[in-house]
Amino acid sequence: MIILIDNGHGKDTAGKCSPDKRLLEYKWAREIAGFLCDFMKNCGYDARLIVPEENDVPLPERCRRVNEICNEYGEENVLLVSIHSNAAGADGKWKTAGGWCVYTSPGKTKADTLATEIWNAANVWLKPYIDRFPLLQSKGEYDSKQRPIRADWSDGDPDYEARFAILTGTKCAAVLTESLFQDNKADVDFLLSVEGKNAIIRLHADGIMSYINKPDK
Ligand SMILES: [Zn+2]
């Protein structure tokens, strides 16, 4: 199995940062993607970064790179994970939305199995974040509707579905994770912490490994 890791956006993408500019999504995503790729390689897997560049490689080119590898190795032997962090707005102000979630394209595909494995791993690796959530919620850091691990159970699995180009334009099992919110102060603190970065890297690694080792995926 070839593990392809996509890191959202680029240095030249407008917006996509925390209101205090401490977290730049392109930079954070590249750091996480780089460590995840190295971690998977150290575990003996063939892991590759789809966008090693700092600039925002357009989505059609990202999809082309993925599909080229799918054509070479067979799409059933390739998976793609796109690393992002979420935002509740684009007005440069702190918000009260928070939490982690995973997206697949609409319909039942192998990506649903991959997404569920990563979602399960998120529930394990984000336990410190999950445990702190109610206290932070009571202090108003998160509004009452927020959950630390977000899920859409309407079709029987926990992933959200969206027609993101990186999901619909690629042939292999592909998921996109939104790891917490870049415009929530408590979330940004966690995302920039050593504990937070490690948890985000490990939940992706464990989810991918569980998927690969599943006999009937
Ligand atoms: Zn993003």
pLDDT in tens, 33-89: 999 999 999 999 999 999 999 999 999 999 999 999 999 999 999 999 999 999 999
Q: Where are the domains of the chain?
A: 2-212
- 10 CA from centroid of ligand 1 (Å): 10
**How do 173-181 and 100-104 pair as beta strands?**
antiparallel
* CATH for the stretch 2-212: 3.40.630.40
* Ligand 1 mean position, distance from CA 103 (Å): 12
Identify which has the larger pLDDT, 109 or 75.
75
- How far away, in angstroms, is 89 Cα from ligand 1 center? 12
Rounded to 5 degrees, φ, ψ at 100 are -110, 145
Q: How far is residue 51's CA from residue 53's CA, in Å, rounded to a whole number? A: 5
CA of 181 to the centre of ligand 1 (A): 10
Read off the pLDDT of each residue in 93-114 and give the average, rounded to a whole number. 96
User: Which uninterrupted H or E stretch holds 121?
Assistant: helix 110-125
| 11 CA from centroid of ligand 1 (Å) | 12
86 CA from centroid of ligand 1 (Å):
6
Ranking 1-5, 96-100, 152-156 by mean pLDDT, the lowest is 152-156
For residues 96 and 192, the answer to whether their CB atoms sit within 8 Å is no
**CA 70 to ligand 1 center in whole angstroms:** 24
Task: Give 99's contacts (C-beta < 8 A, 6+ positions apart).
Answer: 86, 142, 146, 147, 148, 149, 150, 180, 181, 187
Instruction: Calculate how far, in angstroms, residue 132's C-alpha sits from the geometric centre of ligand 1.
Output: 25
How far is the centre of ligand 1, averaged over its atoms, from the C-alpha of 95 (Å)? 16
Q: Which is nearest to 163 in space by CA: 106, 202, 214, 215?
A: 106
CB 103 within 8 A of CB 192: no
Q: Which two tokens stand for residue 18?
A: 């925390």
Measured distance CA(179)–CA(86) in Å, rounded: 6
- Protein residues placing their CB within 5 Å of the ion ligand 1: 8, 84
* pLDDT tier for residue 108 given thresholds of 50, 70 and 90: confident
| Gap from CA of 217 to ligand 1 centroid (Å) | 28
Q: Is the pLDDT confidence value at 217 over 80? A: no
Beta bridge partners of 149: 100
Q: Report how far apart the first and last C-alpha atoms of the chain are (Å, whole number).
A: 13
Angle at 164 between CA 196 and CA 150, to 5 degrees: 40
Q: Is 43 exposed, middle or buried (0-12, 13-18, 19+ CB in 10 A)?
A: exposed
Distance in Å, CA 206 to ligand 1 centroid: 22
